[in-house]
Amino acid sequence: MQSFTPKQGQYLAFIDAYTRVHLRAPAEADIQHRFGVTPPSVHQMILTLERAGFIRRQPGAPRSIEVLIRQSNYPSWKRRLNQSEPL
């Protein structure tokens, strides 16, 4: 398995943290909102992470993103204390 970029690590950490908090994977719209990027940007990142073997999705199933690498291999998701926005 190849290594990931810092940005990819942020996405992996967010997907993992969101899944732990909400007991379901984030939708691409949740990721878009968190990172302030366009829907095509999120989708392209998801495809990139999937091709690299970092995540798995079930075709046609919403919220099916599953992180496949160990949590210790990517940065933990840390929210700023003054951030009022929920995860």
The SS3 call for residue 78 is: coil
Q: What is the DSSP letter of 66?
A: E
Q: pLDDT at position 72, please? A: 72
Return the closest-CA partner of residue 26 out of 45, 2, 7: 45
Max Cα-Cα span within the chain:
37
According to the model, what pLDDT value does residue 87 have?
54
Average pLDDT across each block of 10 residues of the chain; the chain has 87 residues. List them in order.
84 94 96 97 97 94 93 65 48
- Cα–Cα dist 60/2, whole Å: 27
The yes or no reply on domain 6-70 and CATH 3.40.190.80 is: no
- Predicted pLDDT of residue 71: 75
Quick check: pTM over 0.95? no
| Domain ranges (residues) in the chain | 6-70
Collapsing DSSP to helix, strand or coil, 48 comes out as: helix
The C-alpha atoms of residue 87 and residue 82 are separated, in whole angstroms, by: 13
